[in-house]
């Protein structure tokens, strides 16, 4: 591993360790939410790909150009829309995490309980 990657990992680990349990929970929930969106959009992309292949296969007797056009044109639009939705969900999750962490950091924190 390069030195720059090690330094980046060390900084990330230090930032994660500096978070409270509540803040870590926020980060984990945002990550899980983003993972759900990624799984759903990837499954939808697989469906779009299968439908495009099937549509192209049905049009093969009209020639290769017609088959490719019939399969790719609608599929490309769906794929672009799904990838855009996935990117928007990632951006939204980062903003939510940032705002929640900022709001949590600004709120007064109670003193931790004394160890028994």
Whether the full predicted model's pTM is greater than 0.75, yes or no, is no
CA distance 47 to 57: 15
CB of 73 closer than 8 Å to CB of 55: no
Q: Residue 39's pLDDT band (boundaries 50, 70, 90)?
A: very high
Q: Which residue range(s) make up the domain with 78? A: 21-103
Q: Total structural domains in the chain?
A: 1
Considering the domain boundaries, does residue 48 fall inside one? yes
Distances (CA, A) of 108 to 11, 19, 21, 111: 26, 15, 15, 10
Among the listed residues 52, 36, 49, 47, the one whose alpha carbon sits nearest the alpha carbon of residue 86: 36
DSSP 8-state symbol, 59: T
pLDDT above 90 covers a percentage of the chain that reads 8
10 lies in some domain: no
Would residue 4 count as lying in a domain?
Answer: no
Average pLDDT (46-55) is: 87
* Number of other residues whose CB lies within 10 A of the CB of residue 10: 10
């Amino acid at each position: 591993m390069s030195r720059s990657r090690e330094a980046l990992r060390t900084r990330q680990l230090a930032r994660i360790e500096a978070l409270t349990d509540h803040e870590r929970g926020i980060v984990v929930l945002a990550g899980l939410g983003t993972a759900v969106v990624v799984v759903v959009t990837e499954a939808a992309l697989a469906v779009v790909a299968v439908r495009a292949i099937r549509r192209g296969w049905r049009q093969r007797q009209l020639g290769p150009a017609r088959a490719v056009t019939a399969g790719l044109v609608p599929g490309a639009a769906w794929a672009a829309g799904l990838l855009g939705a996935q990117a928007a969900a990632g951006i939204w999750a980062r903003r939510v995490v940032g705002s929640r962490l900022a709001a949590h950091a600004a709120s007064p924190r109670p003193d931790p309980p004394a160890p028994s």
